[in-house]
Amino acid sequence: MIPEGMRDVLPPQTVRLRAVEDLLRARFAAYGYGEVRTPWLEFAATLEEAEDDVLSGGYRLHDEQGHELMVRTDMTVPVARMAADRCDDAPLPLRFSYVAPSIRPWAPQRGQDGEFWQAGAELLGLDSAEADAECVALLCDALTGLGLEEFTVTLGSAAYLMALIDSLDLPDDDRETFTAAFGDRDYPLLESVAGNAAVDEDALKVLWRIIELSGGEEMLGQARRLARNDVMEAALARLARVRDLVDEAGFGRHLAFDFGLVQELGYYSGLILEAYAPGVGLPLASGGRYDGLVARFEWDIPGVGFAVAVDRASDALAEAGVPLVGAPAAVPFPGGLEAPARTAELRRAGIAVLALPEGAAAEPPLIVRRGGAYTLRLADGREVGGDAAAVAAALGA
Amino acid sequence: MRIGLACEVSTPPAEVLDLLGAAGLPVSMLRGETAPALFHPNGVTWFLGSAADVLSGCDRGALDAGVVGSDRLLEGRLGVVDLLDLRRCRDDLVLAVMPSAVHADRRLRVATRHPRAAARHFGATGEQPEILVVDEPLLASSLGMADGVVELSARLRSDVRGAPLLEPRAVVASCSAHLVASRSARVLRRHAFAGLVGRLRVAREEA
Q: Which CATH class is domain B91-174?
A: alpha beta
Interface contact flag, B186 A192, Cβ < 8 Å: no
* Contacts B60 to A, Cβ<8 Å: 111, 281-282
Nearest-CB residue to B74 (from A188, A277, A282): A188
Q: b or e along B37-76 (b: 16 or more beta carbons within 10 Å of the residue's beta carbon)? A: eeeeeeeeebbbbbbebbbbbbbbbbbbbbbbbbbbbbbb
Which residues in chain B have their CB less than 8 angstroms from residue A215's CB?
190-191, 194
Q: For chain A, what percent of residues have pLDDT higher than 70?
A: 97
Chain A residues inside the 8 Å CB shell of B62? 281
B184/A111 CB distance under 8 A = no
Residue of B nearest to A196 (CA): B124
Mind listing the domains of chain A with CATH numbers?
Answer: 11-320 (3.30.930.10), 331-395 (no CATH)
Q: Which CATH class is domain B2-89+176-206?
A: alpha beta
Chain centroid, CA A265 distance in Å: 14
The pLDDT tens digits for B125-147 are 888 899 999 988 988 888 888 99
Best residue in B71, B121, B183, B193 to probe A by mutation, most A CBs within 10 Å?
Answer: B183
Alpha-carbon gap, residue B82 to B27, rounded angstroms: 22
Q: The dihedral of CA A328, A330, A333, A336: what is its sign?
A: positive
Q: What is the number of CB-based contacts under 8 A between chain A and chain B?
A: 77
Helices (H), A229-339: 230-248, 310-320
Among A173, A186, A193, A211, pick the best mutation site for testing chain B contact (most B Cβ within 10 A): A186
pLDDT of residue A369: 82
Which residue in the set B76, B173, B194 is minimally distant from A186, CB to CB? B76
Q: Which residues pair with B180 in a beta bridge?
A: B66, B82
- Find which of B178, B188, B191, B193 to mutate to test the A interface (most A CBs within 10 Å of its CB): B188
At CB < 8 Å, which residues of chain B contact A? 56, 58-62, 73-74, 76-79, 81-83, 117, 120, 124, 173, 182-188, 190-191, 194
What was the pLDDT predicted at A110?
66
DSSP for residue B164: P
Q: How far apart are alpha carbons A286 and A155 in whole angstroms?
A: 10
Q: Do B60 and A189 touch (CB under 8 A)?
A: no
**Sign (positive or negative) of CA dihedral A235, A239, A244, A248:** positive
d(CA A136, CA A120): 12
Q: What is the pLDDT of residue B159?
A: 62
Q: How confident is the model at residue B9 (pLDDT cuts 50, 70, 90)?
A: low
Per-residue pLDDT, B77:
61
Using an 8 Å CB-CB cutoff, list chain A residues near B120: 188-189, 192
Contact A60, A40 (CB under 8 A): no
Please provide the size of chain B in residues: 207
Contacts 24+ apart (CB under 8 A), A191-199: A192/B120, A192/B124, A194/A168, A194/A170, A197/A168, A197/A170, A197/A171, A199/A168, A199/A169, A199/A170
What are the residue ranges of CATH 3.40.190.10 in chain B?
2-89+176-206, 91-174
**What does the alpha-carbon distance between residue B10 and residue A139 come to, in Å, rounded to a whole number?**
46
**Of residues A20, A53, A16, A13, the one with CA closest to residue A308:** A20
Nearest CA in chain B to A217: B190
pTM of the model: 0.85
Which of A111, A212, A276 lies nearest to residue B187, judging by beta carbons? A276
Residue A164 CA to residue A52 CA, distance in Å, equals: 21
Between B77, B184, B194, which is nearest A280 by CB?
B184
Residues of B in contact with A181 (CB under 8 A): 76
Q: For an interface test with A, which of B187, B196, B201 has the most A Cβ atoms less than 10 Å from its Cβ?
A: B187
Q: What is the average per-residue pLDDT within B21-41?
A: 89
* pLDDT tens string B158-176: 666 667 788 899 999 999 9
Give the ipTM of the model, two decimals please.
0.74
Q: Do B77 and A184 touch (CB under 8 A)?
A: yes
Our CA-based measurement puts residue A32 at a distance from the nearest CA of chain B, in whole angstroms, of 30
C-alpha A171/C-alpha A389 separation (Å) is: 77
Q: Do B188 and A278 touch (CB under 8 A)?
A: yes
List per-block mean pLDDT (blocks of 10 residues) for chain A, which spans 397 residues.
88 90 96 97 93 87 95 96 96 97 83 90 97 97 96 95 87 82 72 79 83 89 93 96 97 94 76 94 94 94 97 94 82 92 90 92 89 84 85 80
Distance CA A312, CA A105 (A): 19
Chain A residues with beta carbon closer than 8 angstroms to that of B56: 109
| CB spacing of B173 vs A188 below 8 angstroms | yes
If you average pLDDT over residues B147-161, what whole number do you get? 83
CA torsion A263-A267-A268-A273 (nearest 10°) is: -40
Q: Which residues of A touch B183 (CB under 8 A)?
A: 274, 276, 281-283
Contact B50, B125 (CB under 8 A): no
Are the Cβ atoms of A276 and B77 closer than 8 angstroms?
A: no
The shortest CB-CB distance from A111 to any of B60, B76, B117 is to B60
Residue of A nearest to B61 (CA): A281
Task: Give me the residue from B56, B83, B187 closest to A256, CB to CB.
Answer: B187
Which positions in chain A touch B69 (Cβ < 8 Å)?
A: none
Spell out which residues of chain A touch residue B79, defining contact as CB-CB under 8 Å.
111, 185, 281-282
Say if the Cβ atoms of B190 and A212 lie within 8 Å: no
Shortest CA gap B173–chain A (Å): 10
Residues of A engaging B, defined by a Cβ cutoff of 8 Å: 109, 111, 150, 152, 154, 181, 184-189, 192, 212, 214-216, 256, 258, 260, 274, 276-283
Q: Which of A352, A355, A356, A389 is nearest to A374 (CA)?
A: A389
Per-residue confidence (pLDDT) for residue A58, from 0 to 100 = 93
pLDDT digits (tens, 9 = 90+) for A334-382: 999 998 888 999 999 889 999 999 999 999 999 988 877 888 998 888 8
What confidence tens digit (pLDDT) does each residue in A14-69 have?
Answer: 989 999 999 999 999 999 999 999 999 999 999 998 888 888 899 999 999 999 99
Among candidate residues B43, B26, B47, the one with its CA nearest the CA of residue B35: B47
